[in-house]
Structures are given as structure tokens and as C-alpha cells.
């Protein structure tokens, strides 16, 4: 039996079309999991879905409504998806309550943080207040762009086994203050948070880059991350 990994999609065209990049599903399958794209829903839908999946995989996408971290919209805030925000935030809480693993990619890392009470930079270039490296790379995403430093005391370091890895980058937002029981596990040269993780034994990791695209070029750190996530999901299979 393969662990079922619930994948959250984006929503397009006036909330009528779900979309998810094939690379996400391919990465889960390559790691030994069974990808399942989750439909949005409110009320008891997140509760029911969390009960039937073994791991939650939150993909990238559009911006997050700053209402959830008590800020007004910044002029550079992009498109937001109210249905997606509400659904994913609820699903994070349900999965943690059930002690099931979560892996968040780019926006997914930010959703984990906001769900646990953290804040974000709505727009890095205008809000962080110091020189930045390029965080929206001018090359295909299956090529890495910049280096990050992985904290040696982190769970992430135990997985990737290196404290200096090269990643891709496609974001204008990032995590700022961290939420409850979260810690920084990697940063870029300019101090932007590149990975977060929940303290304790439960696998809850968010990465700011897109490892699903780097797997296309057999990136070792990305392969190790997905393999570990799926192995943690396998532990909770009924």
C-alpha cells in the first residue's frame, strides 16, 4: 500500500478551474506516494479530508490574504484566492491535530506559518528594507538560482545532509515573524527565510523554493526531502 498524499491545487478562471503543475504529482509518485488532488470545501470538508489522507502537500500559487495576519493589503499585493486560503488554513490545523505530516512548497510554507499565527512580507522588495538577491529568477525553474544556508541543528539538515544547497526561486512574498512552535531551518544570503519547520517529532516543513521542479534534474536534496516526507506519511497509514 502506498500512502495517500493530499495535494492542494490552485484555482483559476473566476473560481471555476483547479490547476496543479504535473511536477508536484510526479515528485510524490517518484518518492513512493499516491498523489490525490484535493477539492476545496468549508465546514467539515477539511476534517473529513484530513481523516482520509496520510500526508498533506501544499503547493505554490497566488498571494495570501493579509487579513489572516492582521494587515491591510499592500500596494504590491497580488491576486488572492479566498476559497483556497480558508481551506488550506483549516486543513493545516486538522492535520496537526491528527499528527499527520505536512510539506509546504513556496506559498505552502507561508500558509503553514500564517495558520500557526505568523506574519509575512506581502512584498519583499518594498518591505524588507535591505538589499536583496534575485528571488524571482530569470531562468527556467528546473535550474537552481541561489544558495541557502541550512541550520545544522534542524530537522531539514538531517534530511538533506548539507548546510549549503543551491535552490530555485520564484516568489515576491516570504515569511516574516514565525508562528507558534515554528523555527527557521534555512535562510538565503540576504536573510530571507527559506525554510521553516515545526518543533517536535511531527514532520511539518515548509520550503520557499520549488523542489518539485529541481527533481526534473535529479537534484539530490529535493529527492531526499520528498522521500522523507512520504516515509513519514507511510507511518500513519491505517
34-92, pLDDT tens digit by residue?
Answer: 999 999 988 899 999 999 999 999 999 999 999 999 999 999 999 999 999 999 999 99
Selecting among 146, 171, 210, 232, the annotated active-site residue is: 210
What are the tens digits of pLDDT across the range 163-207? Answer: 999 999 999 999 999 999 999 999 999 999 999 999 999 999 999
Query: Could you tell me how many residues make up the chain?
Result: 238
Q: Rounded to whole angstroms, how far apart are CA atoms 8 and 39?
A: 8
Answer for the pair 120, 69: CB distance below 8 angstroms, yes or no. Answer: yes
Cell of 144: 537552481
Averaged confidence pLDDT in the chain: 96
At 42 the pLDDT is: 80
Confidence (pTM): 0.97
pLDDT band at residue 130 under the 50/70/90 scheme: confident
At 14 the pLDDT is: 85
Indicate if the pLDDT at residue 102 is higher than 90. Answer: yes
Q: Which stretches of the chain are DSSP H helices? A: 22-30, 45-52, 82-97, 107-115, 124-127, 155-160, 211-214, 220-235
| Residue 25 is among the residues annotated as catalytic for this protein | no
Cell of 178: 514565525
Selecting among 106, 135, 146, 171, the annotated active-site residue is: 106
At 238 the pLDDT is: 67
Percent of the chain with pLDDT over 90: 95
The CATH architecture to which 4-235 belongs is 3-Layer(aba) Sandwich (3.40)
Q: Rounded to whole angstroms, how far apart are CA atoms 42 and 204?
A: 23
At 172 the pLDDT is: 97
| Residue 210 is among the residues annotated as catalytic for this protein | yes
| Residue 212 is among the residues annotated as catalytic for this protein | yes
Q: Give the torsion sign (CA, 146, 165, 183, 98).
A: positive
102: part of which helix (H) or strand (E)? Answer: strand 102-105
Q: How far is CA 73 from the centre of its chain?
A: 22
Selecting among 94, 194, 197, 212, the annotated active-site residue is: 212
**DSSP structure class, residue 41:** -
Answer for the pair 136, 169: CB distance below 8 angstroms, yes or no. Answer: yes
Answer for the pair 24, 36: CB distance below 8 angstroms, yes or no. Answer: no
Q: Give the torsion sign (CA, 84, 122, 150, 142).
A: positive
Amino acid at each position: 500500500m502506498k500512502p495517500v498524499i493530499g495535494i492542494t491545487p490552485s484555482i483559476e478562471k473566476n473560481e471555476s478551474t483547479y490547476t496543479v503543475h504535473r511536477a508536484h504529482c510526479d515528485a510524490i509518485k517518484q518518492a513512493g506516494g499516491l498523489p490525490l488532488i484535493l477539492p476545496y470545501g468549508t465546514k467539515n470538508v477539511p476534517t473529513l479530508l484530513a481523516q482520509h489522507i496520510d500526508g498533506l502537500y501544499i503547493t505554490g500559487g497566488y498571494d495570501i490574504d493579509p487579513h489572516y495576519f492582521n494587515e491591510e493589503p499592500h500596494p504590491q499585493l497580488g491576486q488572492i484566492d479566498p476559497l483556497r486560503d480558508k481551506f488550506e488554513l483549516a486543513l493545516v490545523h486538522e492535520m496537526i491535530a491528527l499528527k499527520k505530516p505536512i510539506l509546504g512548497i513556496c506559498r505552502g510554507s507561508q500558509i503553514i506559518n500564517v495558520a500557526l499565527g505568523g506574519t509575512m512580507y506581502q512584498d519583499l522588495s518594498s518591505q524588507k528594507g535591505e538589499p536583496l538577491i534575485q528571488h524571482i529568477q530569470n531562468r527556467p525553474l528546473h535550474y537552481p538560482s541561489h544558495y541557502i544556508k541550512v541550520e545544522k541543528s534542524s530537522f531539514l539538515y538531517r534530511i538533506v545532509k548539507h548546510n549549503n544547497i543551491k535552490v530555485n526561486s520564484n516568489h515576491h512574498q516570504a515569511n516574516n515573524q514565525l508562528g507558534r512552535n515554528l523555527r527557521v531551518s534555512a535562510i538565503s544570503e540576504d536573510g530571507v527565510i527559506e525554510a521553516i519547520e515545526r518543533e517536535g517529532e511531527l514532520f511539518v516543513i515548509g520550503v520557499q523554493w520549488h523542489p518539485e521542479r529541481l527533481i526534473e534534474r535529479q537534484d539530490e536534496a529535493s529527492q531526499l526531502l520528498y522521500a522523507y516526507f512520504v516515509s513519514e506519511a507511510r507511518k500513519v497509514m491505517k
